[in-house]
Structure 1
């Protein structure tokens, strides 16, 4: 079967948070899982994975795009002890042109919970880098990744979608700011964890005028981060003071990479004031509190705020899809042009072997002296190069045009080159700008 791009995975659209968080991998465990799966399935030439709060997706280049999903789901369900049927019913599956378009949409943040957030582009870049360094990606996924990042930049440059959109972190901070419009509470907040999400929360809180206390396991790293911001409203606290802090602040934002809850119900004490907690981690950092004066928001709970933003950005989103469509077509055309050179090379090799075969036969039958073989071979080489010049030039000239499909397939059929079809002109019909 012809090799093709394949994407399969799970996102906030179909898979609930409590199941998504079970699928999260630590980097080393993820690389081990991917390497083992590729070793067990030789049809998988290249593989990478993207794991975020809102999605776990696998991107592959494989000779068995129609057969590889069941064993991958089975391996994932076994590794993570997740119900296989739940994964099967929530699976998003795309091949070749649809896979390319899906990846471009994901990296351009058109498939995100918060459309237009820029965090996903960096996450994809890091995921690709991780898998590339591990030898899991080669030229095919590299081509896809580089073009996807180029597409994301094109969307940002052509639209205002990123400037108008917000990340999950800023959505949470916006929600806190809206709470203060109707509730009387100090404009003070604590942030637990200083990964990318935690740092974004700190920046957004400071921009909104909050006093922020940052709790992190590595105190020195937190101090270095606070120094880089040079804002007196950001103070660093040791993680040992966490239990005291959660009972002193009205606003709590938690976003660590811990595989377990860092805030348990046993740490919570009754307070006379209301508290609003935002758990921005997957797996979740906060055990559901029993105190009636605590309102807990998870990643999925922020979708209402996101929906209002989506309505405001509808026009830019439509334009962004047009940009993604153009890049998808360009990538398809580029892939198609890559197939022209091997076709020309095969055609020339066929002519060369035919000429040499007849030359050797002529010498064997005595039609030509042996000492003239080299000179005649050179003449024949020049002759078939001259003969094939115009067909070669025509193929290259029309590589991006619809007729290239017909020309290429006719040549392969006429000269019995025996190659599978790699021409994908139909892609343009589905994802060109006119389709949106």
Structure 2
């Protein structure tokens, strides 16, 4: 078994390509994962699709063949050329895959270093695959450790403070442009998680918020969740609002642009639109006094953020490096623990058998069985103590597989003793 990560992100893929690769709904994700797992070379798979990245995390028998197969299926899904995607993709195997996964979970690979949403998105992607039985043992182990790593980074650094996200970056840019935000109206399109974050940051920055969504009930519920007043409008008023409000931030899950050239009138005042959706919500539009920012256009704030957080990121990466190595040591220990357990179990079986024979033949009295059994178990424990310690030490050595196989053969133990360690994050809500 090998770990494999195939990554398309803001680092290697422009927004036009990312929006074609995006998976806007669970049906698309489900269909794609089924296709990937239909191939015998891929045993388990998780698909993470956000506004800035598409990641396929897999357990495979052959990394080269699996990479080619997965990217071929991505090419078919996105109607993009295989060669283009293969050349763009960052492909990580085994140690590199785990290091990348831990970096993603810890928000070190994000457009905005330290953004707080990615670990929740990764947990959602994991739960989806787990519920569909698209991952069983190998990926849950890796995901469990990635969440542990993300928590360690949050606790050891200040990267997760300040609610840094693409949404907060867009609001920061708007505030920088506008200056005095008092009495300035901002239109938010969409009623999902990103819109909720956007509203939170707009309100804290002094904007007056108007919310609009195709699902007005959901929009009203979202508006009611805030203490400050938020004006909710019917979706049919979208075109009018676009041409009367200076700031707009859109973050819907629409698979196509919802704002097009014909909806936009020329205005005498300046307008600033922020499209933080992938695929983009705003079509290619030209109009006087209108500036449109996509997620990739927020790079200047991102660069400033990276400079301020460079020292913290260095500490975070040292944690990722350390925990990546610990993960593989832990995997090795999982191979040894069942061996040790079965050595003791087999010893107990021999004790029980010999005691029954001794009682049957009259060598010992039945009423003494329990005390003699305790004595035998004490001898067994002391006898196996040193071999157990040595096996645990060897589990960290490159010769582990050879030694474990030898011990299994000598003691006649079952060679299929792998243990499934259920990941607590499969059943818990986001931390």
TM-score calculated relative to the size of structure 2: 0.83
Aligned to 2:16: 18
The number of residues matched between the two structures is 390
TM-fit CA distance, 1:121:
0.9
**1:47 partnered with 2:54:** no
Distance, in Å, in 2 between the alignment partners of 1:107 and 1:149 is: 7
Give per-residue Cα distances to partners, 1:352-403, cap 9 Å, x unaligned: xxx9xxxxxxxxxxxxxxx99xxxxxxxx99xx7898256413344156x4x
Q: Report the Cα distance in structure 2 between the residues aligned to 1:43 and 1:124, rounded to whole angstroms.
A: 23
1:327 is aligned to 2:323: yes
Aligned to 2:429: none
| SS of the residue 1:82 aligns to | coil
Residue in 2 aligned with 1:9?
7
Compared CA separation, residues 408 and 45, structure 1 to 2 (3 A): closer
Residues 340 and 388, structure 2, Cα contact 8 Å, conserved in 1 = no
Which residue number in structure 1 is paired with residue 398 of structure 2? 405
- Shift, 1:81, TM fit: 0.7
Q: Which runs of 4+ in 1 moved over 2 A?
A: 183-186, 341-351, 385-392, 394-397, 404-420
Residue 394 (structure 2) pairs with residue 395 (structure 1): no
**Unmatched segments (≥5 aa) in structure 2:** 351-359, 362-375, 419-431
Contact residue 267 and residue 288 of structure 2 kept, 8 A: no
The 5-angstrom pairing of residues 186-225 of structure 1 reads 187-225=184-222
Which of the numbers 71, 74, 77 marks the counterpart of 1:76?
Answer: 74
Q: Which residue of 2 aligns with 1:159?
A: 157
1:305 pairs with 2:301 = yes
Return the alpha-carbon distance in structure 1 between the equivalents of residues 119 and 70 of structure 2. Answer: 25
Deviations 1:99-148 (A, max 9, x none): 11111100110000000000111111111111111110112211111221
Aligned partners of 1:333 and 1:261: how far apart in 2? 48
Deviation at 1:74, TM superposition (A): 0.9
One of 210, 225, 231 as aligned partner of 1:228: 225
Q: How far apart in 1 are the matches of 2:407 and 2:130? A: 40
Within 5 A, what are the aligned runs for 1:94-243?
94-164=92-162, 166-181=164-179, 187-232=184-229, 234-243=230-239
DSSP-derived class of the 1:13 partner? coil
Match of 1:67, SS? helix
Question: In structure 2, what is the Cα distance between the partners aligned to 1:68 and 1:397?
Answer: 33
Contact 1:105/1:324 (8 A) holds in 2: yes
Is the 1:164–1:313 contact (alpha carbons within 8 Å) kept by the matching residues of 2?
no
Indicate conservation of the 8 Å contact 2:189/2:249, yes or no. yes
CA distance, structure 2, for counterparts of residue 75 and residue 140 of structure 1: 22
User: Can you list the C-alpha shifts for 1:312-371, whole angstroms capped at 9, x where unaligned?
Assistant: 1111111111222232232222111001135557989999xxx9xxxxxxxxxxxxxxx9
Q: 1:394 to 1:298 in 2, by over 3 A?
A: same
Deviation at 1:414, TM superposition (A): 8.7
Task: For 2:31 and 2:415, locate their aligned partners in 1 and report how far apart those are by CA, in whole Å.
Answer: 35
Q: 1:295 to 1:344 in 2, by over 3 A?
A: same
